[in-house]
Structure 1
Amino acid sequence: MKKLLMCLPLVLASQAYAVSLAQNIQSDMPNLESLYLHLHQNPELSYQEKNTAVRLASELKALGFDVTQRVGGFGVVGLLKNGEGPTVMIRADTDALPIIEQTGKKYASKVKVLDSNNNKVGVMHGCGHDIHMTSFVGAAKQLVALRSKWQGTLMMVAQPAEEVGAGAKAMLKEGLFTQFAKPDHVLGLHVSASVPAGKVAIAPGYALANVDSVDITVKGKGGHGAYPHTTVDPVVLASRIVLALQTITSREISPLQPSVITVGSIHGGSKHNIISNEVKLQLTLRSYDPKVREQQIATIKRMTKGIALSAGLPEEMAPVVYVNTDETIPSTYNDPDLALKVTNAIRQELGSENVLKSEPVMAGEDFGLYGLTDEDIPITIFWLGGVEPALYEKAQTYGETLPSLHSSEFAPDYPLTIKTGVRAMTASALGLFNQSE
């Protein structure tokens, strides 16, 4: 009984603090919703995030951060030193997608621009980066307001070009961890299109996958479609390759190791009665273990070459397998110890019923790169529920499919999602700053 009474003041203090944080965020919601709507209606594609960066830099400067712009493109780094203690980095991604928004919302994006291929495209935050940035700013505001409750350095990183797997690489290459600060912990969040708003989900260990984009050029000897025996048909070879690739995961890689090989594009030929000289395939590869990734690529090269040789092509005409290393993204591994600390902090803030254990997914995120530097810094990213709760319950009841991330119809319940994101990220950072207490 005595021990229980001793613990009671701590519990009450924690509850009072949680109420205070929630109230402070609620008071700031009009500003955060205004920021969200601005970002949503003014999306910018990868490598074009100039105005977004200016706005985020302005928000951080107004809070007293030492801000540097144009890091790794249109990246922004804000530092706030608040005495001796750990350095906690919070990252948000800033780029949008070439999608014409079809949500029907009054605030829907109407932006259209020319992409890198000079094609006119719509632009939409179809992956929730507008939510990420708003939660980022909201957490920064709360941590500044609560600076008497923590000590250390808060490092806010607004990262461009996530959708093309280039932003984290560029910022790290320009010395993010050497020219600015070396974090002790790196935190991130990502909106989920399959978790109800008001909840978060965390996957300790592997959370997101290795991603590789692979182009295969299948060569042949073209000719007239009426005389196929005088040709080596690359369409037939490409078809054989597509089917053979499916056996890599099922017959070459251990069934205990996740692996996905998807042929997303196949193009060849120009007319009904012409056998062409080549066919082009585009693949996406997914895995968690780096050794599985290496096995996927090596097996694709071996298999495609073998199929070509079996058709009578000389070795110099073997298919060309090109791995787009600029688009390669490593898997994201949530440090288990850090993930547990973050989970406990968010549970204390939101309640255990609102913190779920997530399974790994085969989507990719360049956030994983922050944990693969020579500094060996622990990282954790968590999923932030974005689905309007009633809509989620309806979908569960009737087996309906919800719009996914990257869908033109994806529209998160932004007020509740933002509020939850700010609470979860603020609590996570405070927990890490004060973990030694």
Structure 2
Amino acid sequence: MTDGVWNGLTELTEELADLYRDLHQHPELSLQEHRTARRLAEALAPLGYEVTEHVGGTGVVGVLRNGDGPVVMVRADIDALPVAEQTGLPYASTARAVDGAGHEVPVMHACGHDMHAVCLVGAATVLARATDAWTGTLLIVFQPAEELARGARDMVEDGLFERFPKPDVVLGQHVGPLPAGFVGHASGPVMAAADSAEIVLYGKGGHGSRPEATVDPVLMAAHVVTRLQGIVAREVPPAEAAVVTVGKLHAGTKDNIIPETAELGVNVRSYSPQVRAKVMEAIERVVRAECAASGAPKQPEITWHQSVPLLVSDPEATAATVAAFTGHFGPQRLLPMPLVSASEDVGVFGEAAGVPTVFWFWGGLDAETTIQALGAGQLDSLPSNHSPFFAPVVEPTLTTGVETLVVAARTWLGRAGGTEAP
């Protein structure tokens, strides 16, 4: 695309860099993104978008109508994580906040959502300045609470597709530990489904000197943790993939007191509905069986929550979008991606609207350093999402992220002059 759409992009990205550093320095936890949402709404309003705040909590929606044509939804997430930043950047976060459990925690944009949001502001700006090059409607969505796996569903349940134009396609992207300036793509299943369970095991408490008078939930929990690791190894077919993680285990208050209960937090990643159901059933079976084997006085409590569906990048829609990326960036800047075991709730939008979702990745780490690490098989040595050291280099990450969103949106918007989108 060599038309005038890109006029002024260099000057724009210099302004966007200031917004990025501001958002990075002032991160906000999921469901608390009030300042962030206000800044993003203020950025859209002068561009001619109909801006609505407080959608699904702290979500922001912008609508730009430009004649007849498809409705294209472009989404970015905006929340941060309870992580203490260690990047050493001059604009590093020192923010602290109180989380949903009432604990004071450090806050950092350790997953790159600040970069996602600013790139979407940039793309919305470019497209608003070039309305003579396309027709249709842009639906710009800044989504909160992705890290809680609920923000997309909250917006849908708040009437996103009843209050605003229903899209014909949903577009999204994620920055990650790839070389800056490169675009990663995959077709079909892209990111895993995720399910979490809170489990309470019940024992009988007592003095540590008299274990025979107790039912020890700590020992019970230890057996559960060990046995759960056999589910993927022995119940999931080798050709399939799944991950079972026990990320939380709390029990007791003192070394010589056997407590009444033990609490576990379990997370599951899967890539097919069949494996997902099989693993979740197996977890419940193992937990109940270990409790029975230990003589637990009460059945365990197993509560599933934070469910995220498998993210599928529609093959046909992805092929058209990647072809546009190839034409714009050149094939040398595109990287095929393997399945990613992390999860994303952007697929909730496409699923709820009954339309294709197209999702891709783009790089945020210094290109030379990253390429060297890839060549040496040392990718794990680089900071990745959720690390206290993860912060994308501003350029070319910012410019590339704006360009990918604009190219993808124009692939699906109508062409000025009447040519239909694919």
Same fold (TM over 0.5): yes
TM-score between both structures, scaled by the size of structure 1: 0.91
CA contact (8 A) 1:25 1:422 kept: no
* Residue 348 of structure 1: aligned partner: 327
The C-alpha deviation readout for 1:95-118, integer Å capped at 9, x for no partner, is 111222111111112222232333
Change (3 A) 1:151 1:247: same
**How far apart are 1:221 and its partner, in Å?**
2.4
**How far apart are 1:73 and its partner, in Å?**
0.7
* Residue 351 of structure 2: aligned partner: 372
* Residue 243 of structure 1: aligned partner: 226
1:424 aligns with 2:407: no
1:386 aligns with 2:367: no
Change (3 A) 1:63 1:80: same
**How far apart are 1:23 and its partner, in Å?**
5.5
Of residues 84, 94, 108, the one that matches 2:78 is 94
* Residue 148 of structure 2: aligned partner: 164
Change (3 A) 1:207 1:409: same
Of residues 153, 156, 168, the one that matches 2:137 is 153
CA contact (8 A) 1:21 1:423 kept: no
The C-alpha deviation readout for 1:170-197, integer Å capped at 9, x for no partner, is 110111112101100110111112x100
1:319 aligns with 2:300: yes
In structure 2, C-alpha distance between the alignment counterparts of 1:277 and 1:322, rounded to whole Å: 19
* Residue 42 of structure 1: aligned partner: 26
**Aligned residue runs from structure 1 range 298-313, under 5 A:** 298-313=281-296
The C-alpha deviation readout for 1:132-166, integer Å capped at 9, x for no partner, is 11110111111122211111111101111111112
In structure 2, C-alpha distance between the alignment counterparts of 1:103 and 1:75, rounded to whole Å: 28
**How far apart are 1:21 and its partner, in Å?**
5.0
Give the AA of the match of 1:177: F
1:185 aligns with 2:169: yes
In structure 2, C-alpha distance between the alignment counterparts of 1:39 and 1:397, rounded to whole Å: 33
Give the 3-state SS of the residue equivalent to 1:148 in structure 2.
helix
In structure 2, C-alpha distance between the alignment counterparts of 1:88 and 1:125, rounded to whole Å: 27
In structure 1, C-alpha distance between the alignment counterparts of 2:26 and 2:210, rounded to whole Å: 56
Of residues 98, 104, 107, the one that matches 2:91 is 107
Change (3 A) 1:113 1:232: closer
**Aligned residue runs from structure 1 range 72-87, under 5 A:** 72-87=56-71
Give the 3-state SS of the residue equivalent to 2:167 in structure 1.
coil
In structure 2, C-alpha distance between the alignment counterparts of 1:288 and 1:167, rounded to whole Å: 21
CA contact (8 A) 2:180 2:395 kept: no
CA contact (8 A) 2:5 2:130 kept: no
1:221 aligns with 2:204: yes
Give the AA of the match of 2:395: P
CA contact (8 A) 1:304 1:318 kept: no
**How far apart are 1:397 and its partner, in Å?**
5.2
CA contact (8 A) 1:101 1:110 kept: yes
Give unmatched runs, 5+ long, in structure 2: none
CA contact (8 A) 1:25 1:423 kept: no
Deviates more, 1:379-388 or 1:36-45: 36-45
Give unmatched runs, 5+ long, in structure 1: 1-13
CA contact (8 A) 1:165 1:329 kept: yes
Of residues 367, 382, 392, the one that matches 1:402 is 382
CA contact (8 A) 2:66 2:136 kept: yes
In structure 2, C-alpha distance between the alignment counterparts of 1:268 and 1:313, rounded to whole Å: 15
The C-alpha deviation readout for 1:262-318, integer Å capped at 9, x for no partner, is 11121223333332222111111111222322222222222221222223345xx12
1:252 aligns with 2:208: no
TM-score between both structures, scaled by the size of structure 2: 0.94
* Residue 9 of structure 1: aligned partner: none
Give the AA of the match of 2:226: L
Give the 3-state SS of the residue equivalent to 1:35 in structure 2.
helix
* Residue 262 of structure 1: aligned partner: 245
CA contact (8 A) 1:91 1:156 kept: yes
Change (3 A) 1:24 1:345: farther
Change (3 A) 1:100 1:272: closer
Give the AA of the match of 1:357: P
In structure 1, C-alpha distance between the alignment counterparts of 2:217 and 2:95, rounded to whole Å: 41
CA contact (8 A) 2:169 2:350 kept: no
In structure 2, C-alpha distance between the alignment counterparts of 1:381 and 1:332, rounded to whole Å: 8
In structure 2, C-alpha distance between the alignment counterparts of 1:411 and 1:356, rounded to whole Å: 21
CA contact (8 A) 1:350 1:424 kept: no
* Residue 7 of structure 1: aligned partner: none
Give the 3-state SS of the residue equivalent to 1:366 in structure 2.
coil
Change (3 A) 1:397 1:94: same
CA contact (8 A) 2:6 2:126 kept: no
* Residue 340 of structure 2: aligned partner: 361
Q: What is the aligned residue count?
A: 415
1:129 aligns with 2:113: yes
1:212 aligns with 2:192: no
1:116 aligns with 2:94: no
In structure 1, C-alpha distance between the alignment counterparts of 2:216 and 2:17, rounded to whole Å: 58
Give the AA of the match of 1:412: P
Give the AA of the match of 1:121: V
In structure 2, C-alpha distance between the alignment counterparts of 1:424 and 1:296, rounded to whole Å: 36
